[in-house]
């Protein structure tokens, strides 16, 4: 069993990785554009994005100056004494990194707009999403700093159960259209369907977390994702809203069953750097620390 | 598509010669304004026909919420980057008209009113690629001055010296052309075809 000092060191490293790297699948996506696109403006932008990602990772500096609100997705496998201390350890690490780099303080009172402290800690911040998964033999923490560029453009709507598929598609695609160049496209479009008002945005966030090349295991949603992906790219918004066929990095849908009288739908947009990093601590004391996130485990 | 290395302050002639998709590298001092209150504070001087503390004529505004560390009684820059420019649509036409600024550096573009002011008074929008702090931070030399220092450095207005700062893409020129307008008009048309009323 790892001691608290070691765990804190790993958490800090995970948070730093999520701020200073871009997942490999996004880098691959950009390389493909550089090789295949016949749009010279798009190729130039993709080259700049790639160069920045490489520089940030090599020099351990921020990918984006908007280090975002600190958000963490936690998966707990079994009862583990660490659970009681994880929230505090994560707060400590966010505070430390915020003061050391230093990061801009992004956590403010929603009414006064004032920071509580210098270090991105506030009432309810860092944001922690807890999940219990009895099949998982350890603890997984994914750091997903959420910036305002893309974070400002999510939407939720409660449709009636007889809403046509076309109405829902229109809502999803319109969310990307109205965001335009603002969320730093190409974006991951995360769609949540079902559940209720409080849970459906979380489904959309989890959908974003799946990243690229992760079609839904159910054919009906896999097909729907493919169709939305094609239609969104047909809008031609492109990299940084400057045109081209690559507006969406991916479209992912997550669903749960829902209540008979309603059909909630939420859309979450994730900007092109898709910043995230994962720490897994297994019950035998071994661990994995990597940029991005994986569905296995 | 041409590439230019320009010195700040920029002349009307230089700005009027820039076309969409041109690439610019800037050397000189830029002023960072990244909150609405920054703009309101500058405009307060201009509306009252007074000179704000920073030199604006021929100048460049950068929509940059950067990172800084205090070292003694000076500041060093840790990182820069562009925030979403459309947040400042309301203030920029008057800043161009009354402050005679010649360029705005940001990301994501600005609205038609800003485009009109750029056309009338001779200014351009220079786009950085968003999410590229590491790349652009390399081109920032030092802090020249802090204006209206706040209790936390994140809220200050800064004057930064930049050297070959770029690549900056001309995405809104001084003749009423905007790549964003063209792309979004096209996107709306495609959307309306997908979902006819």
Report the DSSP beta bridge partners of residue B193.
none
pLDDT at A23 over 70: yes
Over the stretch B166-180, which tens digit does the pLDDT of each residue have?
Answer: 999 999 999 999 999
Q: What are phi and psi of B88, to 5 degrees?
A: -110, 20
Q: Report d(CA B50, CA A258) in Å as an integer.
A: 61
Report the DSSP beta bridge partners of residue B157.
B147
Element (H, E) at B79: strand B74-79
**For A230-244, what is the mean pLDDT?**
98
pLDDT at A59: 96
ipTM: 0.94
Over the stretch B92-151, which tens digit does the pLDDT of each residue have?
Answer: 999 999 999 999 999 999 999 999 999 999 999 999 999 999 999 999 999 999 999 998
Interface of B with A in 83-142 (CB under 8 A): 83-84, 86, 107-109, 127, 129-135, 137-138
State the Cα angle at B104 between B102 and B110, rounded to 5°: 120
Q: Is B38 known to be catalytic?
A: yes
Cβ neighbours of residue B119 under 8 Å, at least 6 residues apart? Answer: B174, B175, B176
Interface of B with A in 33-62 (CB under 8 A): none
Selecting from B107, B131, B191 the residue whose C-beta is nearest the C-beta of A173 gives B191
Percent of chain A exceeding pLDDT 70 equals 99
Which residue out of B38, B63, B102, B107 is catalytically annotated? B38
Nearest C-alpha of chain A: how many angstroms from B51? Answer: 29
Burial class (CB in 10 A: 0-12, 13-18, 19+), B108: buried
Contact B8, B27 (CB under 8 A): yes
Which residues of B are less than 8 Å from A272 in CB distance? 130-131
Q: Report d(CA A294, CA A291) in Å as an integer.
A: 9
Most confident residue range from A68-72, B151-155, B186-190: B186-190
Which residues of B are less than 8 Å from A65 in CB distance? 64-67, 79-83, 133
Strands (E), chain A: 71-76, 127-132, 138-143, 155-159, 187-195, 248-258, 263-270, 277-282, 287-291
Identify the band that residue A134 occupies on the pLDDT scale cut at 50, 70 and 90: confident
pLDDT at B185 over 90: yes
pLDDT at A113 over 90: no
Element (H, E) at B142: strand B140-147
pLDDT at A193 over 80: yes
pLDDT at A3: 86
Instruction: State the average pLDDT for chain A.
Output: 94
Contact A192, A200 (CB under 8 A): yes
pLDDT at B99: 97
**For A240-256, what is the mean pLDDT?**
97
Identify the band that residue A2 occupies on the pLDDT scale cut at 50, 70 and 90: confident
């Amino acid at each position: 069993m790892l001691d608290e000092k070691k765990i804190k060191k790993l958490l800090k490293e995970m948070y730093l990785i999520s701020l200073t790297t871009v997942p490999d699948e996004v880098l691959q996506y950009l390389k493909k554009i550089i090789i295949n696109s016949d749009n010279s403006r798009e190729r130039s932008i993709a080259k700049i994005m790639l160069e920045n990602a490489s520089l940030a990772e090599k020099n351990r500096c921020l990918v984006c100056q908007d280090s975002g609100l600190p958000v963490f997705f936690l998966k707990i496998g079994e009862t583990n004494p660490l659970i009681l201390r994880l929230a505090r350890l994560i707060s400590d690490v966010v505070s430390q990194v915020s003061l050391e780099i230093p990061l801009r303080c992004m956590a403010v009172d929603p009414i006064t707009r004032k920071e509580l402290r210098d270090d991105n800690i506030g009432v309810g911040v860092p944001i922690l999403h807890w999940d219990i998964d009895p099949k998982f033999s350890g603890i997984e923490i994914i750091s997903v700093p959420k910036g305002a560029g893309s974070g400002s453009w999510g939407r939720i709507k409660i449709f009636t159960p007889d809403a046509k598929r076309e109405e829902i598609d229109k809502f999803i695609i319109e969310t990307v259209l109205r965001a335009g160049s603002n969320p730093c496209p190409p974006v991951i479009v995360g769609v949540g369907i079902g559940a209720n008002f409080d849970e459906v945005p979380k489904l959309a966030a989890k959908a974003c977390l799946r990243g690229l090349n992760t079609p839904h295991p159910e054919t009906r949603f896999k097909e729907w994702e493919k169709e939305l992906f094609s239609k969104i790219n047909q809008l031609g918004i492109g990299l940084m809203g400057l045109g081209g066929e690559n507006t969406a990095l991916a479209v992912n849908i997550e669903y749960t069953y829902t209540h008979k009288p309603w059909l909630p739908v939420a859309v979450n947009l994730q900007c092109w750097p898709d910043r995230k990093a994962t720490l897994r601590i297994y019950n035998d004391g071994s661990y994995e620390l990597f940029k991005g996130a994986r569905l296995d485990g | 598509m041409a590439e230019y290395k320009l010195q700040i302050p920029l002349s009307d002639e230089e700005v009027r010669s820039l076309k969409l998709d041109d690439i610019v590298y800037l050397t000189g001092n830029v002023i960072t304004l990244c909150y609405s209150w920054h703009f309101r504070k500058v405009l307060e001087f201009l509306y009252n026909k007074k000179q704000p503390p920073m030199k604006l004529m021929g100048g460049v505004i950068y929509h940059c919420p950067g990172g800084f560390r205090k070292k003694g009684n000076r500041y060093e820059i840790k990182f820069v980057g562009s925030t979403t420019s459309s947040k400042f649509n309301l203030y920029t036409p008057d800043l161009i008209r009354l402050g005679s600024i010649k360029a705005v550096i940001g990301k994501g573009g600005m609205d038609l009113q800003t485009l009109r002011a750029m056309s009338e008074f001779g200014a351009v929008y220079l786009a950085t690629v968003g999410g590229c702090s590491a790349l652009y931070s390399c081109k920032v030399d030092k802090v020249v001055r802090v204006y209206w220092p706040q209790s936390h450095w994140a809220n200050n207005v800064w004057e930064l010296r930049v050297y070959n700062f770029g690549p900056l893409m001309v995405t809104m020129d001084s003749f009423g052309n905007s790549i964003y307008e063209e792309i979004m008009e096209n996107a709306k048309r495609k959307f309306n075809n997908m979902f006819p009323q």
